[in-house]
Amino acid sequence: MTEPTLDLVSDGGAILWSMVSGEALEFPITLDFVPDVTVTGYEYEAVVVEGLNVALQEEPPTQQKPVGESVLLTVRLPVYAGVWSGTSPYNTEDVVSHGSVYYKLLSGSARVSAIDPSVDPLWEVTTMSKLYVQFPTNILADWVPQPQAGYPVYGFFELRVTEPNNTIFRRTWKPVRGLVEIQFSPTDQVV
């Protein structure tokens, strides 16, 4: 029992988000186990909790800071605009279906075009299994210590996905977790 030969639930491991203090970034995450992230009832929660950082640290912390800051991140879902029509207006990031393929509009505001999305360079192939996690500019506003040149600070990240209520058993997954590394930014020092 203590030396298993079969892992019934494999875990791909952790990730590292690396950014500079003051950046506002959005990252796509594809959830292979959710065919359509816009289905009503699914719950998505992304958080960062402050790590036990010390001044001039050379390694990431291995613990969260007791009574440290925590940030609830925004999780943006795609906007499904229905079956593509050459006479309908679409906005940046709208997702349409055409044939059996989903396309996302890369830019435009109330854009109307009769060019098929499969050949229009302003549309790219996408999936309804993709959501977007947004990291705000002020993610570490109250963290102590702040990053210094050559010495980043870290927080712990996790995304939780809970399926809609059902009568049998409501499953929860935590498909992405890891460290958020935040580097020093000279522009944050200028008033």
CATH code of the domain covering residue 19: 2.60.40
Residue 51 has what pLDDT? 97
58/83 same-domain check: no
- Cβ 115 vs Cβ 6: under 8 Å: no
Q: Are residues 33 and 121 in the same domain?
A: no
Same domain, 84 and 122: yes
Q: CB under 8 Å to 190, separation ≥6 — which residues? A: none
Q: Coil, strand, or helix at residue 63?
A: coil
Residues 6+ apart with CB under 8 A from 175: 29, 31, 33, 159, 161
Identify the pLDDT of residue 12: 66
Tell me the average confidence (pLDDT) per consecutive run of 10 residues in the chain, 191 residues long.
Answer: 66 84 95 93 96 95 95 97 96 96 96 96 97 95 94 97 89 94 91 74
118 and 137 share one domain: no
Do 153 and 165 lie in a common domain?
yes
- The verdict on residue 191 lying in a domain is no
What CATH number is associated with residue 85? Answer: 2.10.10.20
47 and 139 share a domain? yes
20 and 67 share one domain:
yes
For residues 161 and 175, what is the distance between their CA atoms, to the nearest angstrom? Answer: 8
Q: Give backbone dihedrals phi and psi of 189, rounded to 5 degrees, phi first.
A: -90, -15
Residue 6 located in a structural domain: no
Structure confidence at residue 118 (pLDDT): 96
* CB contact at 8 A, 157 and 177: yes
Together in a domain, 64 and 26: yes
In this structure, the answer to whether residues 67 and 105 fall within a common structural domain is no
Q: 86: burial class by Cβ within 10 Å (0-12, 13-18, 19+)?
A: exposed
Are 152 and 88 members of one domain?
Answer: no
- SS3 for 187? helix
Maximum C-alpha span of the chain = 63
Would you state the pLDDT for residue 10? 65
Residue environment code for 125-158, b if the CB has 16+ CB neighbours within 10 A, otherwise e: ebbbbbbbbebeeebbeebeebbeeebbbbbbbe
Establish if 24 belongs to a structural domain.
Answer: yes
Total structural domains within the chain: 2
Q: Are residues 112 and 148 in the same domain?
A: no
Instruction: Indicate if 146 and 71 belong to the same structural domain.
Output: yes
pLDDT at 190: 84
Supply the range of the domain harboring residue 156: 15-77+129-186
